[in-house]
Amino acid sequence: MEYEIKSLGKFKYIEEGNGEPLVLLHGLFGALSNFRSLIEYFRYHNRIIVPILPLLDMDILHTSVGGLAKYVHKFLEVKDLAGVHLLGNSLGGHVGLVHTLKHPERIKSLILTGSSGLFENGMGDSYPKRGDYEYIRKKTELTFYDPAMATKELVDEVYSITNNRMKVIKIIALAKSAIRNNLGEELNQIQQPTLLIWGNNDTITPPFVAKEFNKLIPNSELYFIDKCGHAPMMEVPDEFNVILHKFLKKHNEPATVA
């Protein structure tokens, strides 16, 4: 299903469904397609809002985790959202963490999946090589337990980003910012109920990272999914949605009985 991209000032986003707001933050190579199964399931239970993060459109000075967290804060202000369930994958999780630490007042719960913020392999031992399609295909496959998840459409999408010199510079800036911005000493300040959903076969933010998040975030619960890599909401959407729905039902406002 195609979603209408809405505009509000400088912000672009999609919005589907009604109920308590569930705001989704995508990762460095993320797109709306990453959340398709999640949106289709939860639009019948929550108000789903996906801001399109300007990962590669900010000036280089603000191309950082902190810059993106400020963008999310302004977006939530402009939309006047409160009682938000904030979900982030990979870099999106890191942005969600920074935002929640700085501006906890609008956030009701936090959901992290394959989040950076403590440790991540990122692109491994090298950064994107322009014009090397095979390199990009292999790196995209590493995101998943099942390499077949890296469809030609997905690889083409990543390739088009990494084939632009300025975009590559910004990708490197964001990747370095994520590594520098280690939140280990601050995570104990998060008071919101936090759900951690992790792939047991995640090679980018391996399982030990999830266990560390679980140890450091006071009110957190951790679920591992077998045969799953760095993007559980894409690779095992049914299992992901069941875990998330159970968590949200626990923290949603009780329904009014007529």
Q: Is 241 inside any structural domain? A: yes
**Distance of alpha carbon 25 from alpha carbon 107, whole angstroms:** 14
Q: Is 257 inside any structural domain? A: no
Q: Is 97 inside any structural domain? A: yes
Q: Is 179 inside any structural domain? A: yes
Tally of CA atoms within 13 A in the half-sphere of 252 that contains its CB:
18
Q: Is 256 inside any structural domain? A: no
pLDDT for position 158: 86
**Distance of alpha carbon 182 from alpha carbon 26, whole angstroms:** 19
Range of the domain at 97: 6-251
Q: Is 1 inside any structural domain? A: no
pLDDT for position 122: 58
Angle (CA) 119-233-90 rounded to 5° is: 25
pLDDT for position 232: 97
Residues 6+ apart with CB under 8 A from 172: 127
pLDDT for position 17: 95
Q: How many domains does the chain have?
A: 1
Q: Is 258 inside any structural domain? A: no
CATH number for the domain spanning 177: value is 3.40.50.1820
pLDDT for position 123: 47
C-alpha closest to that of 201 among 236, 152, 166: 236
C-alpha closest to that of 26 among 79, 93, 81, 75: 93
Q: What is the pLDDT along the chain (258 residues), one digit of tens a residue?
A: 688 999 999 999 999 999 999 999 998 877 777 899 999 999 999 999 999 999 888 888 888 999 999 999 999 999 999 999 999 999 999 999 999 999 999 999 999 999 999 987 754 444 555 668 888 898 889 999 999 999 999 899 888 888 888 888 888 888 889 888 899 999 999 999 999 999 999 999 999 999 999 999 999 999 999 999 999 999 999 999 999 999 999 987 654 443
**Distance of alpha carbon 27 from alpha carbon 36, whole angstroms:** 14
Q: Is 227 inside any structural domain? A: yes
pLDDT for position 127: 52
Contact 132, 155 (CB under 8 A): no
Secondary structure (3-state) at 224: strand
This prediction's pTM: 0.92
